[in-house]
Amino acid sequence: MDAIFRALSDPTRRKILKLLSKGEMTAGELAEQFPISAPSMSYHFNILKQSNLVATRKEGQQVYYSLNTTVLQDILLALMDLFGVTAENGREEK
């Protein structure tokens, strides 16, 4: 969870995630959206990959990035635990 929350703490990385929420993109397509140097983009990509928030696949010379939405469930469970929200509290019939 440390790595996930650290990855989420940067606006550039959050913008990358938001772009990927609409579908897979290549490293180049993502980089075009940011007035940021290639090494800085690589740095952000690496942090997102290490935290498992994004997945990559290679096709020829291209690297495709996609959002790993299963991590969202882990984040939500961690937040519910932290804030003392139980499944019981969340039920409407309660």
CA distance 88 to 23: 34
* Single residue of 60, 82, 88, 92 touching its own copies by CB under 8 A: 82
Work out whether 72 is an interface residue with its own copies (CB under 8 A): yes
Determine if 81 is a binding residue for its own copies (CB under 8 A).
yes
Rounded Cα distance, 15 and 79, in Å: 21
List 59, 61, 83, 94, residue binding its own copies (CB under 8 A): 83
The CA-based dihedral angle spanning residues 19, 12, 43, 56, taken in that order and rounded to the nearest 10 degrees = -10
Residues within the interface to its own copies (CB under 8 A)? 1-6, 8-11, 14, 17-18, 21-22, 67, 69, 72, 75-76, 78-79, 81-85
